[in-house]
């Protein structure tokens, strides 16, 4: 069963991120996720995350596909105009890549080449609308395609970016434009995860709650500075008193992921590093009675 079919059928899914290499040595990337084969339902291939130069996501997604992993191609508006974005989407589908997660992308000043000129010809909503139009057999300018695409469209949602009413409005526009699954920024509060899941379901898409294990108090404080409400005080206090903050942060994140089985469509793990530990956790979920009912 494909990722699209699992999401459509209501099965609880697990996705995880894969970062292309900074260079052409891609084999270690594939080798590093081998313990997750058959356990993670699909892998997001990041698009130069944090505006750092890496191998392009499309060839990495194809390499994943050829290696027996189902990819989700991330595509941002930062580096391409509407011509290139439409071309990339058609090329992805021609190569057998059906899942895409479309987003605006980090600004270039955050990356390792801050003088690079950003594009942002389209925003994330317009890119989803463009992909939907390609799905219907037409380019953005109305010209008919010789062979339409059939992409499974996803988007992202940040419950901590403000103002909240504008973020919800933008989320609604993304779903109306054609997004069928929504992957969120990291959430560390179960109540909030449930509220976000209910919101996404109510708007007509399937929520995948973002899970990013915090490795240290320094990392938690950094995230809290970026979004003051993103990291709960209980997590900060726990990290302060923990003899092993990395283990504490990992277990805290897994507790959130475990709770999501009861109310969400899935979870999305972000660059966790602990591949075997994640594989073991997914196995433990599958051995849980509630999880088996969903599957």
Average pLDDT, the chain: 93
Q: Residue 27: how many CA atoms within 13 Å on its side-chain side?
A: 0
253 or 288, higher pLDDT: 253
| Distance, C-alpha 263 to centroid of its chain | 18
Domain with residue 195: its CATH number is 3.20.20.220
Give the C-alpha separation, 214 to 220, whole Å: 6
Give the C-alpha separation, 232 to 229, whole Å: 7
Q: Is the pLDDT of residue 31 over 50?
A: yes
293 or 19, higher pLDDT: 19
Q: Which residues constitute the domain of residue 181?
A: 3-294
The per-residue pLDDT for 264 is 97
3-class SS at 172?
A: helix
Q: What is the arithmetic mean of pLDDT over 269-289?
A: 83
Model confidence, pTM: 0.93
| pLDDT tens digits along 210-256 | 999 999 989 998 888 878 888 888 999 999 999 999 999 999 999 99
The per-residue pLDDT for 295 is 44
Q: Are 195 and 157 in contact (CB under 8 A)?
A: no
Phi first, then psi: give them for residue 136, nearest 5 degrees.
-85, -5
Phi first, then psi: give them for residue 156, nearest 5 degrees.
-120, 160
**Would you place residue 288 in the very low, low, confident or very high pLDDT band (cuts 50, 70, 90)?**
low
Above pLDDT 90, what percent of the chain? 79
- Residues facing 75 on adjacent strands: 102
Q: What is the arithmetic mean of pLDDT over 265-289?
A: 85
| pLDDT tens digits along 128-140 | 999 999 999 999 9
Q: Is the pLDDT of residue 116 over 60?
A: yes
- Min mean pLDDT across 6-10, 62-66, 208-212, 217-221 is at 217-221
Nearest CA among 194, 203, 186 for reference residue 269: 186
Phi first, then psi: give them for residue 138, nearest 5 degrees.
-135, 150
272 or 144, higher pLDDT: 144
Residue 144 DSSP one-character state: B
How far apart, in Å, do the first and last CA atoms of the chain sit?
Answer: 12
Q: What is the arithmetic mean of pLDDT over 95-122?
A: 92
> DSSP string covering 255-284, please?
HHHHHHTTTSSEEEE-S-S-HHHHHHHHHH
Q: Is the pLDDT of residue 112 over 90?
A: no
Give the C-alpha separation, 29 to 22, whole Å: 11
The per-residue pLDDT for 134 is 98
The per-residue pLDDT for 284 is 87
The per-residue pLDDT for 149 is 96
Residue 140 DSSP one-character state: T
As given in the structure block, the two tokens for residue 290 are 């509630």
Q: Is the pLDDT of residue 291 over 60?
A: no
In 137-288, which residue ranges form alpha helices assigned H by DSSP?
Answer: 164-177, 190-203, 217-226, 233-241, 245-260, 275-286
Nearest CA among 65, 47, 66, 53 for reference residue 24: 53
Q: Is the pLDDT of residue 290 over 70?
A: no
Give the C-alpha separation, 222 to 269, whole Å: 19
Give the C-alpha separation, 68 to 37, whole Å: 8
β pairing state of 13-18 and 181-186 = unpaired
3-class SS at 190?
A: helix
Structural domains of the chain, count: 1
């Amino acid at each position: 069963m494909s990722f699209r079919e699992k999401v459509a059928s209501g099965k609880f899914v697990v996705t995880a991120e894969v970062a292309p290499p900074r260079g052409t040595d891609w084999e270690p990337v594939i080798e590093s996720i081998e313990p997750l084969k058959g356990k993670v339902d699909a892998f997001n291939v990041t698009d130069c995350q944090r505006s750092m130069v890496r191998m392009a996501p499309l060839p990495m997604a194809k390499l994943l596909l050829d290696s027996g992993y189902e990819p989700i191609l991330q595509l941002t508006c930062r580096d391409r105009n509407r011509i290139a974005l439409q071309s990339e989407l058609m090329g992805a589908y021609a190569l057998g890549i059906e899942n895409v997660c479309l987003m605006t992308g980090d600004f270039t000043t955050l990356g390792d080449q801050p003088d690079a000129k950003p594009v942002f010809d389209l925003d994330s909503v317009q890119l989803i609308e463009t992909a939907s139009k390609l799905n219907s057999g037409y380019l953005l300018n109305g010209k008919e395609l010789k062979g339409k695409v059939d992409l499974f469209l996803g988007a992202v949602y940040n419950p901590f970016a403000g103002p909240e009413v504008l973020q919800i409005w933008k989320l609604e526009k993304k779903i109306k434009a054609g997004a069928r699954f929504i992957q969120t920024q990291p959430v560390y509060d179960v109540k909030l995860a449930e509220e976000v899941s209910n919101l996404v379901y109510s708007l007509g898409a399937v929520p995948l709650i973002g899970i990013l294990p915090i490795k240290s108090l320094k990392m938690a404080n950094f995230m809290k500075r970026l979004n003051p409400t993103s990291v709960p005080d209980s997590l900060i206090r726990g990290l302060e008193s923990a003899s092993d903050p990395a283990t504490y942060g990992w277990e805290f994140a897994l507790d959130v992921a475990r709770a999501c089985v009861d109310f969400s469509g899935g979870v999305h793990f972000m660059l966790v590093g602990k591949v075997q530990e994640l594989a073991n956790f997914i196995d433990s979920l599958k051995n849980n009675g509630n999880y088996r009912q969903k599957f």
